[in-house]
Amino acid sequence: MPEAFDIAFLGGGPAGYQGAIRAAQLGAKVAVVEEKFLGGVCLNWGCIPTKTVRASAEAGRILRRAKEFGFQPVEARPDLAAIIARKDRVVNALRGSIGRLFQAHQITLLEGRGRLAATGGIEVDHDHQQALVHANKVIVATGSRPASLPMFPKHPRIFLADEALNLNFLPKQLLVVGGGSVGVEMAAIFRELGAEVTLVEALERLLPNEDAEMADYLQSVLKRRKVKILCSAQITAVSGGDALVGPASPFKVMLADGTELNPDTIILAVGRKPNTEGLGLAEAGVELSSGRIVVDEHLQTNRPGLYAAGDVVGRCSLAHVAFAEGICAAEHALGRNSAMDYRVVPRCVFTIPEYAAVGVSEAEAQNHQPVKVAQFPFKSLGMGQATGELEGLVKIIAHAQTDRILGAHIVGPHAAEMIAEIALAMRADLPSRVIMETIHSHPTFSEAVLEVTQALHGQAIHQPPVTRAT
C-alpha cells in the first residue's frame, strides 16, 4: 500500500515549499515531489542567484567610485569564478535551510518527476523506479521555464535566462534580447561587471507594462551608465559564433533596419512558459488556457481536490505571489476559506538602480479620473547627497477627490524596500495624507515617499510645487 498523505505538492519551488510548510503548520501530513532542487527557479536560477551576483556588481561599482568618497582609486577587476562561487554558496545554504525546515515540520520529500495518477495522488518516477503518493488533496506547483526564439540556435554562448549566471567567463560584447524585468536586470548587472552591453527590445520602450515616464527615466539612467539600448528593434537573423569555447568568435545578429550587431555572448530574456506538459492534466480533465492551469480565487481547479499555484497559474508570475498562492491553496485545501487578493502586488526590477512599482501607471489611472500626480527626485534628498546616490525618482498617482493611492513607482537605491510602505497604505485603503502625516526618519531615502505625498497636498518642502492634475 502506498503511504497516504493529507496533502501533496507537485513541485518544491516558491509555491510548493511555502504551501507545504503552511500545511504542516495546520497539522496536515505533507509530501512534496520535486524533480530537481527545493526552492525552484527563484532560489536556484532566478531571484537569489541574480541578486547575489548583483550584490557583487554593486560592490565593484562602489570600489570604482572610491575617489568620489575620499579614498585613493582602487582597481576593481571582477573575478567571475569567485563571484559565481559565492553565488553557489548562497544558493546551497538557502536550499539546505529549506530542507531543514522540511525535517522540522516532518514533511516528506520525494525526489523524482511526478505526474497526476489516474487513481488520485501523484506518480513519481525516480531513476526508473516508480512510486505512488496517495493524497486527499494535490497542489500542482511545477513553475515555468524560460522561452526561446526560433532564430537562435543552440550554442554554448547563447544562454536562456536561467542559465546566464553559470557563465565561466565574462563577456566582452554581450547582447541581451528582451527589455522586460529579467533582460533589464541582466543588462545592468553585466554592465557593472565590465561587459559592453547592448539591450534589444521589440517594443517601443523598456518595461512596456510599467509607467512610461518612469521606465523612460530608468532607461536614461542605464544609457548614462553605457548600456546601449535599441527599442522597436526586430531581430531577423543570427549566424556566426563558430568558436565553441570562450568568447572568441562573434555572432552576426541582423536587425530589421539593417543594423548588424556582433556580440560574443547572447542572453535570451523573452518571457517564460508554464511547466504543464507531461503532468497528466489533460487525462485528469483539468481546464487549461494558453498552457496555464485555470483556477478560481481559492486556487482550485475544475477538478475537486486539485489545486494549482505559482507560474503554472500565471496570474502574476512573481515569486512573492507564488508564495502567497501556495499558502492560500494549502489553507483552502485544508478547510479554511482562504482566497487570493491580487489588488495590491508590488513589482520589483533589480536593476542598478532598482525599479519598484505597485498599482497602476499614470496612463492606466486615467480610468480613475480625476487623479493627481506628484514626483520627488533623490538628488533633493539629504541621504541622496550624503551617499552620492543622486539618480532616483519617486512618483505617486492618487485619486484627486478621495486621496486614495492608485499607483506608485520608484527608481533608485532601495526602491524594492521603499515600495512596501506604499503597498501597505494601499492594502489598508489609506489616503496618501496618512503617509504625509507619519513622521519619517531623517536622513533616509524613505523621505522621498514623504516628500511626494506632501507634494500631492501642495505642501512640498524641498522642491517647488510640481503636482499635476489630470
Neighbour tally for 204: CB within 10 Å: 11
pLDDT at 248 over 90: no
Query: Is 134 known to be catalytic?
Result: no
User: pTM value?
Assistant: 0.93
Report pLDDT digits (tens) over 359-380. 999 999 988 789 999 999 999 9
Neighbour tally for 264: CB within 10 Å: 22
152 by DSSP, 3-state: which? coil
Tell me the average pLDDT of the chain: 93
Give the least confident one: 30-44, 246-260, 262-276.
246-260
Q: How confident is the model at residue 114 (pLDDT cuts 50, 70, 90)?
A: very high
pLDDT at 247 over 90: no
* The 3-state secondary structure of 344-375, one letter per residue: CCCEEECCCCEEEEEECCHHHHHHHCCEEEEE
Q: How confident is the model at residue 240 (pLDDT cuts 50, 70, 90)?
A: confident
Are the beta carbons of 415 and 239 closer than 8 angstroms?
Answer: no
Residue in 2, 32, 35, 36 with CA at minimum distance from that of residue 15 = 32
Alpha-carbon 154 to chain mean position: 25
Which pLDDT value is given to residue 470? 62
* Residue given cell 501556495 in the structure block: 326
Give the least confident one: 78-87, 236-245, 400-409.
236-245
Q: Which of 128, 442, 457, 462 is catalytic?
A: 442
Mean pLDDT of 249-260: 94
Q: Looking at per-residue confidence, does 414 or 470 come out higher?
A: 414
Which pLDDT value is given to residue 119? 80
Which pLDDT value is given to residue 2? 64
Nearest-angstrom CA–CA distance, 415 and 446: 9
* Residue given cell 482566497 in the structure block: 339
**DSSP letter assigned to residue 462:** S
Are the beta carbons of 178 and 156 closer than 8 angstroms?
Answer: no
Mean pLDDT of 222-227: 97
Which amino acid appears at position 352 of this protein?
A: I
Give the least confident one: 146-160, 182-196, 418-432.
146-160
Mean pLDDT of 244-256: 78
Beta bridge partners of residue 239, listed in sequence order: 252
184 by DSSP, 3-state: which? helix
Cell of 220: 536614461
Q: How confident is the model at residue 468 (pLDDT cuts 50, 70, 90)?
A: low
Complete domains list, the chain, with CATH: 4-145+273-333 (3.50.50.60), 158-270 (3.50.50.60), 353-469 (3.30.390.30)
Q: How confident is the model at residue 242 (pLDDT cuts 50, 70, 90)?
A: confident
Mean pLDDT of 116-143: 90
